[in-house]
């Protein structure tokens, strides 16, 4: 009996009315990263049926609204007014097709993102025997210690003074000290590994894997900005209860709470929590933006038209800010709005855990598998586009609030006052209607909403980052890819590591916008790699039976080339302005 002759229930799964030899198995729930030709599920045929299979996008929105939208988009609006509205819209629209086509290959191949990108053309080498989990943990410790030294070093310390006399400033000797420490650790660990298990498999790792492993350190700074922002929200609600370092202590409490939620369940728990948190704060933000139109800060058509003129400078810029600073804020907003580079990657894992790749089944000859695969690609595209609508609307609301209120007042959300400034932005709208109980409720509503959206980002970021790094361990054969319990154990451990490291980073920087700007530098490499790599996969690796249409391919090329160019060009422009290679337009 062929596939098409098997009876199915209303959900499209194969029924058990046939003999065991004839009946296909339902997809295994034990390991979402494994699939076979005998384990699949029919895709939904109607839009209403599709809604039951959506969800990865809401986790995605939960991971980007807190960092990109709430903090950086609002900050950019505060600094430049409506000038870069076109840039924000481009950031939301350009990344969608690259994101979706990346998942198309995941459905086509059944492989994880890092497994795929570790096979891209380019230089590579056999994994060195010192490149182990122990050495990577040592790198993390060295990195945190280096940041701590740089943050807390006393310029009057006798050793620091002596090194300065020799021409060695902290910017030189601290990285040198950390690098030397890591080299010694590599030698020691490499020798131990060679003695302990000389027969261990050491696969080839390519250039992208190296770039990714380095980027993890910067993404811990990004995570620190978000968990620190959530801590600031709690401090706003309970000001002064824990002294001058209250936001740091609350950040630790938030991290512990996030760990408890993430360790208590897997994908389904995260999906449900993210949907609730994002929905709540998005409604609050939309309501404030609508009310804005009945205040003195109303957005006019002239404002919108001025923001769509494709200009960078000049404009209604905040006084006292250097042009290079504004450009770097724009880069951080670009990296965090729409879908960020890390979110683009982790989305492939959420789709795997939702079951899109497993439900399609292993690729086999014939017409049945392409039909199923195209059906699940359609479900994924529906998830992507509905998600795009949600984050585009919320992004525009945040940008309008920042441009209309904070730019008008010349207030820049920064450092420990980031959440306080954003709270003032929300209450300014309500104060136009009432200065009594309603204004007080608005302040409380912002605190609750900001905490919700930042906390959802903490959850999604920690969970996604842990899955990605665990997959790197699998690709490098530090963990058996077929051992799903080992994968789950690694994810749980790395969730805790991520939250602890993020808390430590915030305690040293205590400036979420600055931390997000530092982390956004990763986009200079990641966006070009993701865009050009996806184009390469489209033409060289995707099963020809489920390749995208010609219009989709053309759109992929346009958006992919734009993504490959924008981030590097923005950084070069900022460097040129900062070093005086170009005259300042401000």
**Per-position DSSP letters for 503-520, written without gaps between them:** HHHHHHH--HHHHHHHHH
Q: What is the pLDDT of residue 19?
A: 35
User: In 10 A of CB 187, how many CB atoms?
Assistant: 11
pLDDT mean values, one per 10 residues, the chain (586 residues): 43 40 41 84 90 82 68 89 92 93 93 94 91 89 86 65 60 70 74 62 92 93 92 88 86 94 75 71 81 86 92 67 83 84 91 90 91 95 91 90 89 82 78 60 75 85 94 95 92 96 92 88 91 96 94 96 92 86 76
Dihedral over alpha carbons 388, 392, 393, 398 (to 10 degrees): 140
Dihedral over alpha carbons 483, 486, 487, 490 (to 10 degrees): -160
Q: What is the pLDDT of residue 35?
A: 86
Taking phi over 0 as left and psi of -120 to 50 as alpha, with beta for the rest, 132 belongs to beta
**CA 521, CA 331: separation in Å to the nearest integer?**
8
**CA 110, CA 118: separation in Å to the nearest integer?**
15
Q: What is the pLDDT of residue 14?
A: 42
User: Closest Cα to residue 235, out of 41, 512, 526?
Assistant: 512
pTM value? 0.86
**CA 138, CA 187: separation in Å to the nearest integer?**
12
Domains of the chain: 44-124+229-578 (1.10.4160), 128-201 (no CATH)
Q: Cα angle vertex 463, ends 205, 559, to 5°?
A: 65
SS3 39: strand
């Amino acid at each position: 009996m062929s596939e098409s002759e098997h009876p199915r229930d209303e959900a499209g799964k194969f029924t058990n009315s046939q003999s065991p030899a004839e009946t296909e198995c339902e997809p295994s729930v034990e390991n979402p990263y494994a699939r076979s030709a005998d384990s699949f599920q029919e895709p939904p045929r109607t839009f209403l049926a599709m809604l039951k299979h959506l969800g990865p996008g809401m986790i995605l929105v939960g991971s980007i609204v807190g960092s990109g939208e709430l903090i950086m988009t609002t900050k950019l609006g505060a600094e430049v007014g409506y000038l870069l509205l076109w840039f924000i819209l481009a950031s939301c629209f350009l990344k969608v097709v690259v994101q979706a086509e990346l998942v198309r290959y995941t459905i086509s191949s059944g492989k994880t993102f890092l497994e795929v990108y570790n096979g891209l053309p380019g230089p590579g080498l056999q994994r060195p025997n010192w490149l182990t989990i122990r050495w990577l943990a040592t790198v993390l410790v060295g990195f945190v210690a280096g940041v701590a030294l740089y943050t807390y070093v006393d310029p009057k310390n006798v050793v620091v003074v002596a090194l300065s006399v020799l021409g060695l400033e902290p910017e030189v000797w601290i990285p040198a000290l950390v690098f030397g420490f890591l080299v010694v650790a590599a030698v020691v660990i490499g020798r131990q590994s060679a003695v302990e298990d000389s027969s261990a498999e050491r696969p080839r790792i390519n250039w992208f894997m190296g770039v990714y492993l380095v980027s993890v350190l910067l993404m811990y700074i990004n995570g620190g900005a978000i968990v620190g922002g959530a801590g600031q929200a709690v401090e706003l609600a309970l000001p002064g209860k824990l002294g001058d370092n209250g936001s740091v202590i609350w950040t630790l409490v938030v991290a512990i709470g996030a760990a408890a939620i993430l360790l208590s369940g897997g994908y389904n728990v995260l999906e449900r929590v993210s949907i609730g948190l994002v929905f709540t704060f998005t409604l609050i933000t939309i309501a404030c933006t609508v009310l804005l139109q009945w205040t003195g800060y109303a957005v006019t058509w002239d404002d919108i038209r001025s923001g769509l003129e494709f200009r960078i400078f000049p404009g209604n810029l905040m006084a006292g800010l250097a042009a290079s600073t504004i450009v770097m804020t724009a880069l951080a907003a670009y990296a965090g709005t729409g879908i960020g580079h890390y979110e683009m990657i982790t989305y492939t894992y959420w789709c795997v855990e939702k079951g899109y790749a497993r439900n399609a089944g292993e690729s086999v000859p014939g017409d049945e598998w392409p039909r199923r695969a195209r059906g699940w690609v359609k479900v994924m595209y529906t998830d992507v586009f509905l998600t795009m609508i949600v984050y585009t609307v919320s992004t525009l609301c945040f940008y309008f609030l920042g441009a209309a209120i904070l730019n008008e007042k010349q207030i820049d959300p920064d450092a420990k006052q980031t959440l306080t400034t954003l709270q003032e932005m929300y209450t300014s709208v309500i104060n136009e209607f009432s200065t009594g109980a309603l204004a007080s409720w608005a302040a409380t509503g912002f605190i609750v909403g900001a905490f919700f959206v930042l906390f959802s980002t903490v959850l999604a970021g920690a969970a996604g980052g842990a899955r990605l790094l665990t997959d790197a361990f699998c690709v490098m054969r530090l963990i058996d890819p077929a051992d799903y319990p080992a994968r789950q154990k690694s994810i749980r451990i790395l969730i805790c590591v991520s939250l602890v490291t993020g808390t430590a980073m915030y305690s040293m920087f205590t400036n979420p916008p600055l931390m997000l700007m530092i982390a956004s530098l990763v986009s200079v490499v990641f966006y070009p790699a993701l865009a050009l790599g996806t184009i390469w996969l489209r033409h060289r690796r995707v099963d020809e039976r489920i390749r995208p249409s010609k219009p989709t391919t053309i759109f992929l090329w346009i958006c992919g080339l734009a993504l490959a160019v924008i981030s590097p060009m923005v950084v070069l422009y900022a460097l040129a302005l900062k070093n005086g290679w170009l005259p300042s337009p401000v």
